[in-house]
Structure 1
Amino acid sequence: MAPKVLISDELSDAAVQIFRDRGIDVDFQPKLGKDKDALAAIIGNYDGLAIRSATKATEKLIAAATNLKVIGRAGIGVDNVDIPAASKKGIIVMNTPFGNSITTAEHAISLMMAVARQIPEANASTHAGKWEKSRFMGVELTAKTLGVIGAGNIGSIVIDRALGLKMKVIAYDPFLTEDRATALGVDKVELDDLLTRSDFITFHVPLTDQTRNILSREAIAKLKPGVRIVNCARGGLVDEDALADALKEGRVAGAAFDVFAVEPATESPLFNLPNVVVTPHLGAATTEAQENVALQVAEQMSDYLLTGAVSNAINMPSITAEESKVMGPWITLSGHLGNFVGQMTDEPITAINILFDGQASEFNLKALTAAVVAGIMRRRNPDVNMVSAPVIAKDSGIQISTTKQDQSGVFEGYIKVTVTTENRERSVAGTVFSDHKPRFIQIKGITVDAEIGAHMLYTTNKDVPGIIGKLGSILGDHDVNIANFTLGRSEAKGEAIALLYVDEAVPAAAIDALESSGVFQQVKPLTFEV
């Protein structure tokens, strides 16, 4: 059956057609997003939800979305989506961070020019029949210092345009490396240095707990006198009341804002102040940008629903279609490793460590880690997936750590998962052979070579003669056919394990017979999704 996608906001006909051309059953109801009750009543019928800003994907709506797998936001902002609720439900949330990058960057440059030359006020004055040439004395951008807060995708485009205008650019971004700064042609500085040196400041960061109110009243007090502030990023980055006071006092020469702490912004302390330019969140409002993000979200959602490729996800590591092909067996292996230790561990888990060796360390480790954790958590909640499992594990207080190392053995690469409880540690390792089939290669430090099947049986015993015969005899008595039989031991006469791949689930009577034989220390039936 084809996946079903609901589009509850305005998207272009071309975007709708992308879904149809890819074989998606699409329901285009662009007015539905404004009716939350009607949307909630039908959302359970869909695998995907494509939205812009009018639809509010609240916790209540997500709770009603019993089949939803992905929410695609055409645009960069996901303020209208309850990310934690979606993550706990296992729903991927995607945005389109690159479709409107140029448009937003150009708007920031436009606002900077507008406030530098007081264009809106001069325009209004001239339309009013006045000729106040001496009133509107501006400043040049050439040779001025532009401070860019956030040198990511949009910020880097602003930097490029500003350098073309012969401005000197400095940037504050905790994630900006020296090499990247050199490549961009900017000086990397600390925030306080940027505040005291900049003639213009522009923001290009998301609104997070770390960036909220980054230009606070205290920060505004440090600004270079005569600075001009531009914000086309997110409302809430600037203390608007404190900035209004600084503008009235003349310490800040001007400001240009496209975004506000409360939107729609019908009032603001910045409104009606001299040399303040305001626009109604137009950063992405060009024909090209609106079309780009609509097409992009349609492609991304279709890719995920049809192939499992994940692009620009907010709450899950991205996996390209190419990565999915190469990593697919390793993601499967990761899930099996997690599933194994999850089924073997009856006590509460306090920590999970994942070791990636050799070739395995070169893949997308976030995706592999998510697959391991999902495998572990499925023992307790069969509905978890790679999106929800890390969130549930964190909420449960489980510490997750990863380690990378160069190739250390005969395998080109392998993954080892160790879980810790209050009383013990348990570990299992696996690899992917050239046939692309995952294998278990180590359990409890004992080397094995076990093919993974839907139904398996794990036993432990002392390494003494007659075990194989006893195991085969009991299973044969209960009509259990063995497809693959793997043995391993720590040392001669020491601890031994057996891992059997069987055709059907081992019946309870066979488990009882094995346990009562007096030979086996542990007997554990296992199941895997293969």
Structure 2
Amino acid sequence: MTAMKLAIDLDGVLTEHPRPLAHAASARFGMEMPESAFIDSAGLNVPVEVRDWVYGADGPASRLRPAPDGAEFLRQVIELLGPARVKIVTARPATAAEMTVAWLLAHDFPTCEILYADLKAATALKHGLGFAVEDSLRHARNYAAAGITCFLVNAEEAPPHTLDPSVVRVESLSHLLRLLASRSNAYPTSEDGSMTSLHPSTSGASNSAPRPTIVVSDEIHPIARARFSAAADLVDVEGTDTAALLRAVAGADALVVRSETRVSADVLAAAPKLRLVARAGVGVDNIDLPAATRSGVLVLNTPGANAVSAAEHTIALLLAVTRQLAAANESTHAGRWERKQMRPIDLRGRTVGIVGLGRVGSRVALRLRAFEMRVLAFDPYITPHRFTEFGAAPVDYQTLLANADVITFHVPATPETTHMLDAETLRLVKPEAIVINAARGEVVDQDALAAALREGRLAGAGVDVFPHEPCPSSPLFGLPNAVLTPHTGGSSAEALAAVGELISTTTLAALRGEAVPNAVNLPASSLNAPELQRLTSVCAAAGRLLGVLAPDRPERYTLTVRGLVAHDVMEHVLGTALSESLNLWTDQRVTPVNAHLVAEEVHLEVKAQADDSDQDLMPTFSFAVHDGADHHVAVRWDRTDAGITAIDGFSLEHPLAGDVLITHHRDQPGMIGQIGMIMGRYDVNIAGMQVGRHEITRGGEAIMVLNVDNEIPAAAVAEITAIDGIEATYVVSLPEALHGPVQAPLLPTLALGGARLPSLTSADRWGRGTCRAFNVD
């Protein structure tokens, strides 16, 4: 039995009603959004661009007012239950972590772990949360369906008599606090005096899996450390001690670093179990990405989590240079009143050139516009709309260098950006210009920068990053017109908390096999993480099934997509399915990260093709292998749920899940009975059966799919295979989570090969076939 644990929604419970978000988005994007647009799932169904703006660092969500008594409610609940038993569970995107943490701190909320997930009930179960507080009727009902008692507060949708008995309507947070107090007082207690759950079905759910081992080689925020400690075994090591690091990672599932640890190919080779490297920060130039990808190791970072802090530090460096703050501070402390020697300059009316208008650069643009500066920007990777949004005039790099009074860099370290500013390009810069680099040390050639500062070809510089860190020496040291800081741009208390929040949340989610939004060596997804997870988990099962159907590695592997599906979604689907198949066909560890590299190494031809000519089609993903006997597995996706709906040309009435026996056999009397008797003798319970044949008359090719409740012994499989008429027998274990069928009312008739068919079939040598389903008690 576990201690009573509570999940608390954020928007609409701890904040005011989120209708201002819909109003602001409607005004900005010229849309007519209902006031409920950001209530049910934090805007999950609005365009991604709108959602990102709403929950951005300066978006309208950052200006929501706290609910009356919201902070006091959270404080008293934590005092009542204990800090480890209270979590905020919000459908906001994980990229909103920094803004969310900053908002909570600004409004005097106590520190509390935050989980970002639209699948709130599933997340609550994983964390052993038996109670929840919600203002969304949909989430409340989902909690109740999962066996979690949900207190519904501030809801406007339904009268009390329509609610599930596990959904308890409460009048206010104060009413809820009294109810929690009364329930906790009457709560069953364990021997150690802790409260035990009223929902034993949820207890222990988060503790059944083995605890992963996480190696931490740089200092991380206490939020991240506490969360990691609760879910994993932590191993601390000094990242700059290479020998110690190599020993520590030998048994690691994850390695968490900041900027000081160098994750080389040797480190990765020493970690055979390593599944991911998590960079608590943005830049990943200290990680050998190609080596990580070859090893199938996922690399995570925290884009945007410290963007506000980095932008504000950029402004601080600029002001320190233009106001000569370092020299003024030193001389004043020394008792010298050198007012006349100081020559500060104003920013108003001057031109700033921003190289890189991403998460940090865009925030710098907004802030410098407030100084009434003219903003030029160079960024070849963004749309014209982005320049307009941030009030920046798009120019080429040379034009920016020649015209800017201030040049500030906000780009990653890549071969293209290394020494973007060097001796040659510095010749284009005005002698009275100022250079700011708070991006990466490799972007600016510091030898050339120091020479320009010494020779008066540049007025000043502000530098927060160095090619090698810690930096014991630099040509910039000692220059009076250079303001230097030890890479503290993203190190504000708020930024470090947000980075800790995001890296711990996504690291643990990735270790559980969930999709995460901050992967560096996987393509970005146009789907949110829960949607992508639902789809790829089914496609992983399809790849596993295909590997069972074709036990010998084939020559070709193809994915055919029908319907309107984004290219990045196709990439995720193919990589996931291919990795599962290759794990059965090779002795290598294959993940979606390195699936294509491994396929190339073993000379497996991989092809993907899409047919979006009929955009009204329900999307289908047909996986096939070709080598003598072809095999096919099809997945159908209604953009909410997905399921395996066809095998080798036979359409299934119910998607596959759990332990499954599949037979290819001749259609003849007694086949079902013989298989059933064998299963009975081996005490294998049949939970469901689907059978079908291609021809109308008997005697042709047929298929049987059995769902069973327990493992099928090898001896039983051997007896079934020996039955006269059995052509092939396959046993595969698929995720239980796939039991939920694709929603039938949402499935239109599908067009395949120019013909309208009543159900999905693969366009393969088998032709048509449909399995009928039987429920077996």
**Would the TM-score normalized by the shorter structure come out above 0.5?**
yes
2:370 is matched with which residue? 164
CA-to-partner distance for each residue in 1:36-58, whole Å, 9 max, x for gaps?
43444344444444333444444
Of 384, 399, 417 in structure 1, the residue corresponding to residue 590 of structure 2 is 384
Structure 2 residue identity aligned to 1:389 = A
2:211 is matched with which residue? 3
- Name the stretch that deviates more: 151-160 or 60-69: 60-69
With over 3 angstroms needed to count, the CA separation of the structure-2 counterparts of 1:239 and 1:437, relative to structure 1, is closer
Distance 1:354 1:220 in 2: 51
2:671 is matched with which residue? 472
Of 622, 647, 667 in structure 2, the residue corresponding to residue 416 of structure 1 is 622
- SS of match in other structure, 1:10: coil
1:463 is matched with which residue? none
Distance 1:112 1:477 in 2: 78
| 8 A Cα contact 1:141 1:167, kept in partner | yes
Structure 1 residue identity aligned to 2:343 = M
| 8 A Cα contact 1:361 1:404, kept in partner | no
1:262 is matched with which residue? 468
Asked if 1:301 corresponds to 2:301, the answer is no
In the TM superposition, residue 145 of structure 1 has moved relative to its aligned partner by: 1.4
Distance 1:127 1:393 in 2: 66
Give the alignment of 1:144-223 within 5 angstroms. Answer: 144-223=350-429
Of 209, 221, 231 in structure 2, the residue corresponding to residue 24 of structure 1 is 231
With over 3 angstroms needed to count, the CA separation of the structure-2 counterparts of 1:306 and 1:427, relative to structure 1, is closer
In the TM superposition, residue 184 of structure 1 has moved relative to its aligned partner by: 1.4
| 8 A Cα contact 2:347 2:371, kept in partner | yes
With over 3 angstroms needed to count, the CA separation of the structure-2 counterparts of 1:41 and 1:148, relative to structure 1, is same
Distance 1:334 1:198 in 2: 51
| 8 A Cα contact 1:309 1:318, kept in partner | no
Of 297, 301, 325 in structure 2, the residue corresponding to residue 119 of structure 1 is 325
| 8 A Cα contact 2:376 2:395, kept in partner | yes
In the TM superposition, residue 367 of structure 1 has moved relative to its aligned partner by: 3.5
In the TM superposition, residue 75 of structure 1 has moved relative to its aligned partner by: 2.2
Give the alignment of 1:348-367 within 5 angstroms. Answer: 349=555, 352-355=558-561, 357-358=563-564, 364-367=569-572
With over 3 angstroms needed to count, the CA separation of the structure-2 counterparts of 1:96 and 1:432, relative to structure 1, is closer
Distance 1:480 1:374 in 2: 32
Asked if 1:339 corresponds to 2:544, the answer is yes
Give the alignment of 1:225-264 within 5 angstroms. Answer: 225-264=431-470
| 8 A Cα contact 2:362 2:390, kept in partner | yes
- SS of match in other structure, 2:303: coil
Any gaps of 5 or more consecutive residues in structure 1? 461-466
Alpha-carbon RMSD across the aligned residues, in angstroms, is: 4.3
Distance 2:630 2:220 in 1: 52
1:368 is matched with which residue? 573
Of 443, 452, 461 in structure 1, the residue corresponding to residue 656 of structure 2 is 452
- SS of match in other structure, 1:313: coil
Distance 2:693 2:417 in 1: 54
Distance 1:207 1:396 in 2: 33
- The count of residues paired between Structure 1 and Structure 2 equals 511
| 8 A Cα contact 2:660 2:734, kept in partner | no
- Structure possessing the higher relative contact order (Cα contacts under 8 Å, 6 or more residues apart): 1
In the TM superposition, residue 206 of structure 1 has moved relative to its aligned partner by: 1.0
1:63 is matched with which residue? 269
Give the alignment of 1:19-98 within 5 angstroms. Answer: 19-20=228-229, 23-27=230-234, 29=236, 32-98=238-304
Asked if 1:310 corresponds to 2:509, the answer is no
With over 3 angstroms needed to count, the CA separation of the structure-2 counterparts of 1:485 and 1:102, relative to structure 1, is closer
Residue identity over aligned pairs, in percent, reads 29
Of 411, 418, 440 in structure 1, the residue corresponding to residue 645 of structure 2 is 440
Distance 1:131 1:178 in 2: 49
- SS of match in other structure, 1:290: helix
| 8 A Cα contact 1:447 1:489, kept in partner | no
TM-score by length of structure 2 reads 0.56
| 8 A Cα contact 2:634 2:645, kept in partner | yes
Structure 2 residue identity aligned to 1:183 = E
Distance 2:517 2:730 in 1: 37
Of 389, 392, 405 in structure 1, the residue corresponding to residue 612 of structure 2 is 405
Structure 1 residue identity aligned to 2:577 = V
With over 3 angstroms needed to count, the CA separation of the structure-2 counterparts of 1:456 and 1:290, relative to structure 1, is same
- SS of match in other structure, 1:96: coil
| 8 A Cα contact 2:695 2:701, kept in partner | yes
TM-score by length of structure 1 reads 0.79
In the TM superposition, residue 95 of structure 1 has moved relative to its aligned partner by: 2.2
Structure number with higher strand proportion: 1
Asked if 1:529 corresponds to 2:734, the answer is yes
With over 3 angstroms needed to count, the CA separation of the structure-2 counterparts of 1:239 and 1:52, relative to structure 1, is closer
Distance 2:391 2:256 in 1: 38
With over 3 angstroms needed to count, the CA separation of the structure-2 counterparts of 1:416 and 1:476, relative to structure 1, is closer
With over 3 angstroms needed to count, the CA separation of the structure-2 counterparts of 1:473 and 1:7, relative to structure 1, is closer
Structure 2 residue identity aligned to 1:3 = R
Distance 1:145 1:435 in 2: 49
Distance 1:273 1:491 in 2: 89
With over 3 angstroms needed to count, the CA separation of the structure-2 counterparts of 1:179 and 1:437, relative to structure 1, is closer
- SS of match in other structure, 2:584: coil
